[in-house]
Amino acid sequence: MFYRYFATLQDDPDGGTIVTFDDVPEAITAGDSQEEVLSNAREALALALRGILQSGRSLPVPTAAVGVPVALDADVAAKLALIQAFRESGLTKSELARKLGKSENEARRLLDPDHPSKIGTLQEALRALGMEIEVTVRRAA
């Protein structure tokens, strides 16, 4: 999955800019400066996607191609990818823990969208599920 969604920026009549995402309608934010708008957009997008997973739904596939591209931070994207891959795997948390050589508590923390995890650990868990992380670096919007 590609964790970059396009944001629509609109002037707020009260000042600043409102940010929405066609593919993730739950993600709405605003800001006064361009830097604040983009920072808030990344945060709102990450929160909305975590909420979607916590509600048991699958992540929306980015389809919009117009607007300002907003990419999730690498650790957030890896965490969401892990949770999605785990759900699709059909494994139990105990089985994942065994595959990783970790305790079930460690596996639970890896699958908790609100628990921070190191990118290396997430990469290891994704590999155990037959997935890999591919990194792309591009100039920021």
List 9's β-bridge partners, or say none: 19
Pair (9, 54) in one structural domain:
yes
Distance CA 67, CA 78 (A): 24
93 in any annotated domain: yes
Q: What is the pLDDT of residue 109?
A: 96
pLDDT in tens, the chain (141 residues): 788 999 999 999 999 999 999 999 999 999 999 999 999 999 999 999 999 999 989 999 999 989 999 999 999 999 999 999 999 999 999 999 999 999 999 999 999 999 999 999 999 999 999 999 998 888 876
Pair (26, 44) in one structural domain:
yes
96 in any annotated domain: yes
Q: What is the pLDDT of residue 138?
A: 83
10, 17 contact by CB (below 8 A): yes
pTM: 0.88
Which residue range(s) make up the domain with 114? 74-128
140 in any annotated domain: no
What is the count of structural domains for the chain? 2
3-state SS, residue 28: strand
Pair (89, 59) in one structural domain:
no
Pair (67, 78) in one structural domain:
no
Phi, psi for 28 (deg, rounded to 5): -135, 135
134 in any annotated domain: no
